[in-house]
Amino acid sequence: QSALTQPASVSGSPGQSITISCTGARSDVGGYNFVSWYQQHPGKAPKLLIYEVTNRPSGVSNRFSGSKSGNTASLTISGLQAEDEADYYCSSYTGASTYVFGTGTKVTVL
């Protein structure tokens, strides 16, 4: 079970939009609409941002949006803010009630 591939780092200026990719295979990202995204600040537990590819839990800013095309899922953060500086992880169902996380992306707000 290999980790999903994410870019190690993405950066942007305040107010800009950035997109983080999450590449897997047909056996995970491409095969199911169970992709989630998490935000993690240093020393803190992850926070769920997106579930089932595009859905936001209650209380999550609409500046966060998710999408998927083929074997690659994406998280877009619009109107980038200083508080968005954190690590971001994707996760996907891989069948038989098992899951895999992505390698993680560090977002830097310039």
Partner 1 sequence: QVQLQESGPGLVKPSETLSLTCTVSGYSISSGYYWGWVRQPPGKGLEWIGSISHSGSTYYNPSLKSRVAISLDTSKNQFSLKLHSVTAADTAVYYCARPRDFWSSDAFDIWGQGTMVTVSS
By CB under 8 A, name the binding residues for partner 1: 1, 3, 34, 36, 38, 40, 45-48, 51-52, 57, 89, 91, 93, 96-104
Contact between 4 and 29 under an 8 Å Cβ cutoff? The reply is yes
Closest distance of CB 88 from partner 1, Å: 11
How many C-beta atoms lie closer than 10 Å to residue 66's C-beta? 22
Q: What is the maximum alpha-carbon separation in the chain?
A: 41
13 versus 42: smaller Cβ distance to partner 1: 42
19 versus 101: smaller Cβ distance to partner 1: 101
Separation CA 40–CA 104 (nearest Å): 10
16 versus 99: smaller Cβ distance to partner 1: 99
Closest distance of CB 76 from partner 1, Å: 18
Closest distance of CB 82 from partner 1, Å: 23
- Mind giving me the DSSP string for 42-79? TTS--EEEEBTTTBPPTTS-TTEEEEEETTEEEEEE-S
Closest distance of CB 64 from partner 1, Å: 14
